[in-house]
Amino acid sequence: MAPSGPLLLEVERLSVHFGGLVALSSVSFGIPSGEIVGLLGPNGAGKTTLFNVLSGLVRPTSGRIRFQGHDITDYRVDHISRLGISRTFQLIRVFPGLSVLDNVRVGGLFGRSQTAAPIDANGLQRVLTLVDLWHLAHHSAGSLAIGERKRLEIARALATCPSLLLLDEVLAGLAPPDARTMVELIRTIQQQGVTIIFIEHIMSAVFELADRLIVLHHGEKIAEGPPAQVVRDPVVIEAYLGEAPTGFN
């Protein structure tokens, strides 16, 4: 099922080869503004590679990427960030020796969208309040618990004022209360006008959040559509789920 409405992001026949390894093979999809899209697939399917290409860390072997009408296929990381794409990483990359506040300030200084004014003190407070870390603003990032660190990484990404946010397994390793907080935070971010693509293996969170799913396997897109449709796709069940989840209409 193709998305309806104007597209914020268009990916056309994207392929990535690392020597003889095909990490992505002719992947195409479109993301309209305002959606939350879940990116699924087994380990090694190409999900993080796709994020690396979208954020400029990896150059594609072939294919094109358009964001807000701009062809960004060959853009540098900083240029892509300033256009409005930001991300988190599966392995947390906060600066442990800096304060929570300064971690977010770094994001605002070096990745700020070209359409946004430089982040000020009020902006820093708003971002940290959104992720429930304002009370820890002057604490060392290295002193935070894992759930707090993950929220800090999201805050740093939000400081760039993104239109598109890429979240790479932000629920992994979290206790149930922290996972619930994270799900609510992702929904709040979407409600503030940010389009989101997220990688996640916790299926209850995927079903709760996603408007649409894209499934990769061995670097190829094998399914795309509403969650209730995708989880019943025999190809997806065989490649990833093992069995169709119950309780979905």
Report residue 110 as tokens.
């070096």
Average pLDDT for 232-240 = 86
Give me the chain's average pLDDT, please.
90
For 117-141, b/e burial (b = at least 16 CB within 10 A) is: eebeeebbeebbebbebbebbeebb
Which CATH number characterizes residue 42's domain?
Answer: 3.40.50.300
- Bridge partners for 216 per DSSP: 221
Out of 12-21, 111-120, 214-223, 229-238, least confident range:
111-120
**54 domain residue, yes or no:** yes
- Nearest to residue 27, comparing CAs of 48, 39, 11, 43? 11
Q: How confident is the model at residue 117 (pLDDT cuts 50, 70, 90)?
A: low
| C-alpha span between 212 and 228 (Å, rounded) | 9
- Nearest to residue 140, comparing CAs of 186, 99, 196? 99
Instruction: Specify the higher pLDDT residue, 101 or 1.
Output: 101
CA 167 to chain centre: 3
Q: In terms of residue numbers, what domain contains 231? A: 1-77+195-249
Q: What is the pLDDT of residue 231?
A: 87
- Can you tell me whether residue 72 is helix, strand or coil? coil
Q: What is the pLDDT of residue 118?
A: 67
**116 domain residue, yes or no:** no
Per-residue pLDDT at 191 exceeds 80: yes
Q: How confident is the model at residue 72 (pLDDT cuts 50, 70, 90)?
A: very high
| C-alpha span between 81 and 30 (Å, rounded) | 19
**143 domain residue, yes or no:** no
**27 domain residue, yes or no:** yes
Overall domain count for the chain: 1
Q: What is the pLDDT of residue 3?
A: 58
**184 domain residue, yes or no:** no
**99 domain residue, yes or no:** no
**67 domain residue, yes or no:** yes
Q: How confident is the model at residue 115 (pLDDT cuts 50, 70, 90)?
A: low
pLDDT in tens, 131-149: 999 999 999 999 999 999 9
Instruction: Specify the higher pLDDT residue, 5 or 43.
Output: 43
**19 domain residue, yes or no:** yes
Q: Are the beta carbons of 197 and 206 closer than 8 angstroms?
A: no
- Nearest to residue 8, comparing CAs of 108, 74, 85? 85
Tell me if the pTM is above 0.95. Answer: no
CA 235 to chain centre: 24
